[in-house]
Amino acid sequence: MSVLHYIGAALVLALITAVGVYSGRNVKTAHDFNAGGRRAGAGVVMGSIIGTLVGGASTIGTAQLAFSYGFSAWWFTLGGGLGCLALAICFSKPIYESGISTMPQILATEYGQSASTVVTLLTSLGSFLSIVSQILSGVALITSVSGMGPFVSTAAIVVLMLAYVVFGGVWGVGYVGVAKTILLYVSVGICGAVAFNMQGGWGAFREALPASRYFNLFARGFAVDMGAGLSLVVGVLTTQSYIQGLISAKTLGASRAGVLTSAVLIPFIGVAGIFVGMYMKLHYPDIASASALPLFIMRHLHPLFGGVVLATLLVGVIGTGSGMALGLSSMICGDIYKIYINKNATDERNLLMSRGVIVTILVCSAVFSGGNMGSMILSWSFLSMGLRGAVAFGPLCAALFFKGRISNKYALASMIAGPLFVLLGKFFLPSSIDPLFPGMAANILVLALAPRPRLLDGADKSN
């Protein structure tokens, strides 16, 4: 990196730091930290969702997969957009009007506290893997453009994630998410346009690359890529971080507008990353695939603007990882700590606990990611989304739209069966079949087999 690279990067980091410090002024209580005090507008809702969903996997990870499979890499952002569309149209009203701040609390209201505890513990694994994918993206970015090694790069990423979210909470994720969204879409969009024009347009890409592999949404196999898209849809619908953005709005209209805007914008950034990945495959076929986007920026953009883009990508990685850590912290504190450990904790104690859990989560993620530096970033992201959906999708739908229809025992069995079959499928099914399919089938089938309670009003649903 040249001096101009560092100047451009410093400008972006200074802007993001200023926005993050400003957001902390809105945090007076634990409710402000975790749910924004229900004072956010549509822009902050959009910033919170895009700021968490669009990060290293959507940019660096998409370019990495496109380097090998072209448009098959679109499923992460395309599926994310479809998930947000479903969240806005079908789920925003019942979730917002419930007045509940976490997804496990919705399940606790319908199935009892044990259901809340189980879903918190099982979905935490999926959220944890998503944070790991962001750390891997950040390490790929830093090591590609600097002389820093993986260990130092990982430490830097974790420290920046802590600074991003630990002070401002959902306000930090929302406000910084708005700034990050503008910077990210302009920066990565320009990268995609430059790659597209340098190659000579659509026709030139089609002539240079085999269409059956690089211009096929199902290049990795229909079941694999369809499973990847489905994992994003159900993952978005069952992830606390996105629900957290939805419920932070001051009105239902603002909430729905923010989520719908996210649904429209998210798929576009994936296309830009795909063209960069394919361009780098044609001209630099021997590079590490994870370095496709960072090296494109270093070699084909003006150094000052390149520094801006690199810092923006870094903020994208940090924002998504810290946003996931915030959602995970909210569930652990609200559905485990306050229920089983300290029921009478003061608001100050809850706020301190929320921040402490975030620190613990990020440190553990950094340790775990150290042994997976050579893996495909999006594979971790797809698995994390699929695990969350296989745990909570069926029970959440039943709790919101079929109240009183499912007994506690069947809901709990569904939450356990889903991720169990995902993991079994991961180890025993051929690679051509996404393990999400048996997981979702088990999750929904258990609920379908549940006998309807004899009494719907005041009935004991424990049987």
Query: What integer pLDDT is reported at residue 171 of this predicted model?
Result: 42
Specify the DSSP class assigned to residue 90.
I
Residue ranges of alpha helices (H) inside 25-74 are 30-35, 42-53, 62-69
Q: What pLDDT was estimated at residue 293?
A: 93
Burial 444-459 (b: 16+ CB within 10 A, else e): bebbeebeebeeeeee
Q: Determine the pLDDT at residue 264.
A: 93
Domain annotation for the chain: domains and CATH numbers: 3-377 (1.20.1730.10)
CA distance 274 to 64: 8
Residue-level pLDDT at 131: 85
Instruction: Render pLDDT for 332-358 as a digit per residue (tens, 0 to 9).
Output: 887 777 777 877 777 677 777 877 888
Using an 8 Å Cβ cutoff, are 378 and 64 in contact?
Answer: yes
Q: What's the pLDDT tens digit per position in 100-153?
A: 777 888 888 889 888 888 888 888 888 788 888 888 888 888 888 887 888 888
Residues present in the chain in total = 463
Q: What is the pTM of this model?
A: 0.80
Cα–Cα distance measured from residue 145 to residue 131, given in angstroms and rounded to the nearest whole number: 22
Q: Is 285 exposed, middle or buried (0-12, 13-18, 19+ CB in 10 A)?
A: exposed
| Cα gap 263→49, rounded to integer Å | 10
C-beta neighbour count of 354 within 10 angstroms: 22
Q: What is the pLDDT of residue 25?
A: 56
| DSSP string computed for 342-408 | -TT--HHHHHHHHHHHHHHHHHHHHHHHTT-TTS-HHHHHHHHHHHHHHHHHHHHHHHHHSTTSS-H
As to burial, measured by CB atoms within 10 angstroms (0-12 exposed, 13-18 middle, 19+ buried), residue 396 is buried
| The predicted structure's pLDDT at residue 170 | 41
Q: Mind listing the pLDDT tens digit for each residue in 93-115?
A: 998 888 777 788 888 888 988 88
State the Cα angle at 134 between 219 and 260, rounded to 5°.
Answer: 75
* Interacting residues of 332 by C-beta distance below 8 A, sequence separation 6+: 120, 124, 357
* Residue spans of the chain under pLDDT 70: 20-39, 164-177, 347, 371-376, 453-463
Q: What pLDDT is stored for residue 22 in this prediction? A: 66
Tell me which residue of 46, 56, 48 sits closest to 23, measured CA to CA.
48
How far is the C-alpha of 103 from the C-alpha of 239, rounded, in Å? 8
